[in-house]
Amino acid sequence: MRDAFIRELEVQARLEPRVFLLTGDLGFGVVEEFSREFPNQFLNAGVAEQNMMGLAAGLADSGMLPFVYSIANFPTFRCLEQIRNDVCYPELPVTIVSIGAGLAYGSLGYSHHAVEDLSVMRSLPGMRVISPCDPNEVKAAVRFILNDPAPTYLRLGKNGEPSLQITERTTLGGTCTLREGSGLLILTTGAISNDVLRMVSRSTKPAIMSAQVVSIPIVKPMDLSLINYDEFDHIVSVEEHSIVGGLNSAIYEYLRDRNESRRILAIGLEDAIRHYAGSAEHLKLKSHLDREGMETQILKFISG
């Protein structure tokens, strides 16, 4: 996803000179080409993320369209006060780009896990939250952001994620159906969508094999108006994030505001994950976010 983001940002920077990229002394294997082509639209702020967010706010207040790029935990948790006071309060068009959301940097331990970021960013006033499922949605997200500048949190995976859609997205809508189906509706967001699709396609259980899988790239403001819930017997949400305050919470809030009530199985991360370090695959296994773990939870839910 990070390569897709940088390549699309380069395209847009050629069209819009106000695009500005800031990094906190990382990502040079990815951002070097951008920095060479656009030396006046790039700044390495060093290992000083809070200052970097203040710089981004100042640039935005001066008419620029800054993108702040860092590993997911750094531009969010470390900079929360600056985001709240310097970006959201004055409603400045700063885009916070998190790389390696969820458990992608799992081997570095809990300090590098971004598993509460959706909850935190959703709670900020005026903050738009976007979580693409694949490189196609990443590119569409960049265009969407620049077409309607506003405080935005762009949550990305690490790299190497496959394209999950047959055709390239030209616009970013509230939902995107990745797999048609019936009976079971699985709502997901971000890079975990690939794991969900693989789980469904490899399952030998008819109830799961027939599932419809829908990506929700815009977590806030959420728009699920294209989904007809009455067509499905069961609904499941899957996220590489705490089950508190993230996708599942956003879905329930959306339905509550429309006086709709549906029981939804929330598959996500429990608090105990903070005690573990290891590969993303290992941590998903510990959290029952692996293929077998998800399948077991869904079958138990369906059986009542």
In a domain, 171, yes or no: no
In a domain, 161, yes or no: no
pLDDT-derived band at 159, boundaries 50, 70, 90: confident
In a domain, 285, yes or no: yes
- CATH number where 110 lies: 3.40.50.970
**How many percent of the chain have pLDDT more than 90?**
88
Report whether pLDDT(167) > 70: no
In a domain, 43, yes or no: yes
268 and 243 Cβ atoms separated by less than 8 Å: yes
Report whether pLDDT(27) > 90: no
In angstroms, the Cα distances linking 272 to 69, 242, 276 are 29, 10, 8
Q: What share of the chain is helix, strand, coil (3-state, %, to 5)?
A: 40, 20, 35
Higher pLDDT, 226 or 124: 124
How large is the average pLDDT for residues 8-24? 97
Higher pLDDT, 166 or 129: 129
Report whether pLDDT(201) > 90: yes
Over the stretch 210-254, which tens digit does the pLDDT of each residue have?
999 999 999 999 999 999 988 999 999 999 999 999 999 999 999
pTM here is 0.96
Report whether pLDDT(304) > 90: no
150 and 181 together in one domain? no
102 and 206 together in one domain? no
Query: DSSP label at 121?
Result: H
Domain that holds residue 66: 2-155
Report whether pLDDT(166) > 70: no
In a domain, 75, yes or no: yes
DSSP for 68-90, written as a single string: EEEETTTTTTTTHHHIIIIIITT
In a domain, 170, yes or no: no
pLDDT-derived band at 26, boundaries 50, 70, 90: confident
Report whether pLDDT(169) > 90: no
Over the stretch 35-84, which tens digit does the pLDDT of each residue have?
999 999 999 999 999 999 999 999 999 999 999 999 999 999 999 999 99
Report whether pLDDT(186) > 80: yes
Report whether pLDDT(209) > 70: yes
In a domain, 82, yes or no: yes
61 and 196 together in one domain? no
Q: What is the pLDDT of residue 262?
A: 87
In a domain, 56, yes or no: yes
269 and 192 together in one domain? yes
125 and 198 together in one domain? no
Q: What is the pLDDT of residue 288?
A: 96
218 and 123 together in one domain? no
Cα(171)–Cα(265) distance, rounded to whole angstroms?
29
How many folded domains does the chain comprise?
A: 2
64 and 33 together in one domain? yes
pLDDT-derived band at 165, boundaries 50, 70, 90: confident
Return mean pLDDT, the chain: 94
121 and 80 together in one domain? yes
How large is the average pLDDT for residues 193-218? 96
Q: What is the pLDDT of residue 171?
A: 79
Residues 6+ apart with CB under 8 A from 202: 291
- CATH number where 254 lies: 3.40.50.920
207 and 293 together in one domain? yes
118 and 240 together in one domain? no
Residues 6+ apart with CB under 8 A from 196: 186, 188, 213, 238, 294
**Taking Cα atoms as reference points, which of 275, 299, 273, 300 lies closest to residue 285?**
273
